[in-house]
Amino acid sequence: MNLINYPRAFCVLFTVVIISWGCKKDLSPVINNNPPATTPINNDTVVTIRVDSGLYTASGSGGIDTGEILLALNTTTNGVLAMLDQKGNLLKEKTLSLRVDNLQKWNINGNTRYTYLQTEGVYTEANVATEEGYDIICDSNLNELSRITLLPFQTVDTSGYDKLDVHEFILIGDNHYIAITDRQESPKNIPDSLHPSPQAKVIACLIQEVNNGQVVFQWDGTDYPEFYGASVENNNFSDSVNTMDYMHMNSLCIDSSDQNLICSFRNLNQIIKINRTTGAIMWRLGGAHTDFPLTADQVFLRQHYVRFTDNGQTLIFVDNGQQAIRANSRILEMHLDETAKAITSFSSYDIPDVFIQYAGSVKKFNGNYFIGGGSANYALQVNYTSNQVLLRLNQKFSSYRALKY
């Protein structure tokens, strides 16, 4: 089913300290006065083309950079995939009857692909509340091409659980991807110094790379006992009742220089490089036992969306901060000398908006940052040199990430 573009003519002024205000268009459908069309996907999910200008307001000029902004918003009843232009005008929109998250765009052999997580259930315990579901691969019009589940491999049995985690998905080819999931496990390798209960349960961070239906790489965080003691949150291993989300993996990317994996673990305050062949830990940045010495200004807390910029030379990520320690959020850039284990260049930018307690994202281009405000319900495009806010999206609902391509 193709998405439909609707003519719009509706201006919105959002009063924030911004340079100027932007225009949004009215999204009322005008095609033969017919209601929006619906169609089933895989015979079990109804997808609706919906037109709704009440999802967000936009202000600012948008700057001169073209591009497509992607949001996955969730109302009280529906999930909405929204595509915006660089000024915040709503271009296309698709509504599903289930929650959606992490809408991303990919170029696969010259073809545009979109992916998102369709949530089917929330795994909730006292210390854990994470969305789970299936990653959906779509064509350029958001028509579903395939649905990704966790696959059985080695000790992983998917007969009772085949869902994936909201936090990350990497599309490498139409039949080649990397997905992550959270699995409850009862490990026996928690160090005695942490006084573990014999009934201790943890959330295991699992990475699975699949090519043409075959698992070609798998990594389980519980195989590395050093991370139990490095945890800064949800780490009461003497608790025999609740499940400890002691690592909380929230981003994953491929290092283009050597094709290994860069992973962010929120509850360790740490970024880790993992060998994509052996699974070995290559280095740790931040948190306990960091391999790279950090100055006080370089210490980061509860980070999200670790990626590379400058042609794969520099790590860039959201340093969320922590309410009790530093309740302001920053964008950090670090160039690493991986051989000498040294940070050779560093920059920090204070986000000129509300503290982002959870989630968030950042992309850098042409002197600008495009920042997803995660749980703070906004997105910004800012010139980090002049500190000029070029665009602000005030979202009515949260979007785990807001990304611009």
d(CA 239, CA 369): 42
Tokens of 116: 């998102």
d(CA 259, CA 179): 16
| 157: in domain | yes
| 351: in domain | no
User: pLDDT value at position 122?
Assistant: 62
Q: What is the DSSP letter of 188?
A: S
Report yes or no: 91 and 106 within 8 Å, Cβ to Cβ. Answer: no
Ranges in the chain, pLDDT < 70? 1-53, 121-130
| 381: in domain | no
User: pLDDT value at position 295?
Assistant: 98
E strand or H helix that includes residue 322: none
**What Å distances lie between residue 301 and 328, 354, 376, CA to CA?**
10, 16, 17
**What Å distances lie between residue 103 and 14, 80, 164, 352, 364, CA to CA?**
25, 10, 15, 25, 18
> What global pTM score does this model have?
0.85
Report yes or no: 188 and 196 within 8 Å, Cβ to Cβ. Answer: no
User: pLDDT value at position 52?
Assistant: 54
d(CA 112, CA 405): 12
Please state the length of the chain: 405
Residue 199: CB atoms within 10 A of its CB come to 9
Amino acid symbol at 110: G
User: pLDDT value at position 64?
Assistant: 86
Report yes or no: 213 and 200 within 8 Å, Cβ to Cβ. Answer: no
| 199: in domain | yes
Exposure b/e, 323-339, CB count within 10 A at least 16 = b: eeebeebbbbbbebeee
Residue 234: CB atoms within 10 A of its CB come to 20
User: pLDDT value at position 196?
Assistant: 98
Domain extent for 108: 98-247
Report yes or no: 384 and 331 within 8 Å, Cβ to Cβ. Answer: yes
| 326: in domain | no
Tokens of 391: 């665009």
Phi and psi, residue 2, nearest 5°:
-85, 145
**Coil/strand/helix, residue 137:** strand
User: pLDDT value at position 99?
Assistant: 92
Longest dimension (CA), the chain: 71
User: pLDDT value at position 121?
Assistant: 67
Nearest residue to 247 via CA among 316, 190, 292, 162: 190
User: pLDDT value at position 280?
Assistant: 98
| 50: in domain | no
Residue 346: CB atoms within 10 A of its CB come to 15
d(CA 79, CA 73): 6
Q: Looking up tokens 């070609």, which residue turns up?
A: 216
**What Å distances lie between residue 2 and 90, 100, 143, 145, 277, CA to CA?**
16, 19, 7, 13, 40
User: pLDDT value at position 127?
Assistant: 53
Nearest residue to 236 via CA among 249, 246, 225: 246
User: pLDDT value at position 123?
Assistant: 55
Nearest residue to 203 via CA among 123, 142, 280, 323: 123
Report yes or no: 281 and 272 within 8 Å, Cβ to Cβ. Answer: yes
Tokens of 93: 């929109």
User: Rounded to 5 degrees, what angle do the CA atoms 78, 15, 51 make?
Assistant: 30
User: Rounded to 5 degrees, what angle do the CA atoms 257, 150, 83 make?
Assistant: 70
User: pLDDT value at position 120?
Assistant: 82
Report yes or no: 251 and 306 within 8 Å, Cβ to Cβ. Answer: yes
CA atoms within 13 A on the CB side of 341: 13
- Count of domains forming the chain: 1
CA atoms within 13 A on the CB side of 21: 10
